[in-house]
Amino acid sequence: MNTTNPPNRNTACLSQQLEQCAQQGLTGKLDVSAGEQRWTIFFCLGRLVWATGGQHPNRSFRRIWQQTCPQIQPIPKSDRAAVKQQSPGICPHYDLSRTLVKQEQLPPETIKAVVRHRCQEVFFDLLQQETFNTLAYQQSPEGGLETVSTLMSGLLWPRQVFPEAYQEWMDWQAAGLEDISPHEVPTIAQPEKLQQMTATTTYKILQEAIDGRRSLRDLAVATGKEPWRLGRSMLPYLRQGAIALTQLPDCSSPNRSPRISPSTHQGPSMPSYVPASQSAFRVACIDDSPYIQRQMQDIATQAGWEFVEIQDSIRVLPYLLETLPHLIFLDLVMPIANGYELCAQMRRVSALKSIPVVIVTNQNRTMDRMRARFVGANDFLTKPIQPAQVLAIAQKYLQAQP
């Protein structure tokens, strides 16, 4: 008979599980599951190290990073291989933060704030899940982060984080939002009805803020409101169907397309009129030419934007839905599907139809411009690509960002 004790797996509530891990001085992980959803909370000597999983872990990290340390650039693309080699890859977000601390770019108090915010969001999600589902918890000393990889300066006791998450959940419930996830994305479903229900100024504000790309949590950060207050203000419009909630896929991980630091390439000098405060502006380039991609990347990185490179025309829509750029440069001549066809496809997808698209081509004929407008393109850029022209076009749409 096997007398080995199985891992602790039960359905005790989150607060009890966290307290148990703290009292036991757990160094390892606590896996949590609800149906197909999974979360993992990492511990070191009973204190919180990090939390992963859930619906939008990458979007959450990006939002927390911009909240906590917007002035600090994540690791450039050229250095990501070294980061991956130095870490086991269990938590790419945590690995990135740890590397920046080692490079003395991220102060200890900042990493503690990042850990607190991330764990608080995970705890909130678990508290909401507990209301509707039975959660299974499995505690294990195996499979956690290596102790040598743990940032001791970022460790927090569960009691330092859980009460804030619990209060946020209580406020969310009291606002009548218990069956709404803050990860859901509001969209204007019936513009005419919304216009009838609101004053002109309010309608304009809602129209600018609700772009179909930002979750309720994202909007709360952008507007400086507490999530429950923002959600409560939208409830009347949700109940009347003027605003609808949709699901979007998570954005890419920091090991795939984080913000790129300035390039060392010495290209043509460029105007410096793009505001540095808009460094979260994300530009996608859809072109099968590596040369054009390098050109566009150099322009984007020198301007301080995030850059998304797409060379495969078959993967255009899935990758755009994953990254949700603010501006798309689309080459007209692409294999399998040309730029006109791809633009028309984008305009049939609700999450992409409002993103500005710039057709890039060798031709500058009136017929081409007319056809580009017909399929929903917003602008036209003629090759050879000039940095000043790219920046001028981007500036127009950057200023339109909420």
pLDDT at position 252 is 61
pLDDT at position 157 is 94
Residue-wise pLDDT tens digits, 5-28: 333 444 468 999 999 999 999 999
Going by pLDDT thresholds of 50, 70 and 90, the confidence category of residue 146 is low
Residue-wise pLDDT tens digits, 77-119: 444 444 444 444 457 778 777 777 777 777 777 888 889 999 9
Residue-wise pLDDT tens digits, 164-192: 999 999 999 999 999 999 999 899 889 89
What mean pLDDT comes out for the span 219-242?
Answer: 89
pLDDT at position 273 is 31
Look at the chain and count its residues. Answer: 402
d(C-alpha 179, C-alpha 233), whole Å: 16
Does pLDDT of 325 surpass 60? Answer: yes
The HSE-up count of residue 159 (CA atoms within 13 Å, CB side) is 5
Extended strands (E) in 263-326: 282-286, 306-310
Q: Does domain 181-246 have CATH number 1.10.3470?
A: no
Does pLDDT of 328 surpass 90? Answer: yes
Query: What's the mean per-residue pLDDT of the chain?
Result: 80
Residue-wise pLDDT tens digits, 276-323: 334 478 999 999 888 888 889 888 888 888 899 998 877 888 889 888
pLDDT at position 149 is 64
Please name the CATH architecture into which domain 276-398 falls.
Answer: 3-Layer(aba) Sandwich (3.40)
d(C-alpha 143, C-alpha 388), whole Å: 50
The full DSSP string for 116-130 is HHHHHHHHHHHHHHH
Does pLDDT of 359 surpass 50? Answer: yes
Does pLDDT of 264 surpass 70? Answer: no
Does pLDDT of 202 surpass 50? Answer: yes
Going by pLDDT thresholds of 50, 70 and 90, the confidence category of residue 124 is very high
Global confidence as pTM:
0.60
What mean pLDDT comes out for the span 266-280?
Answer: 38
Going from N- to C-terminal start, the domains of the chain cover 8-172, 181-246, 276-398
Sheet holding 47-53, edge to edge: 8-10, 136-140, 28-34, 37-44, 47-53
Residue-wise pLDDT tens digits, 45-84: 999 999 998 888 888 888 888 778 766 655 544 444 444 4
* Contact yes or no for 283/327 (Cβ under 8 A): yes
Going by pLDDT thresholds of 50, 70 and 90, the confidence category of residue 356 is very high
If DSSP codes are grouped into helix, strand and coil, which group holds residue 283? strand
* Contact yes or no for 230/218 (Cβ under 8 A): no
Among 32-36, 106-110, 138-142, 157-161, the range of highest mean pLDDT: 157-161
pLDDT at position 41 is 95
Q: Which of 76, 78, 103, 80 is nearest to 92 (CA)?
A: 80
Does pLDDT of 163 surpass 70? Answer: yes
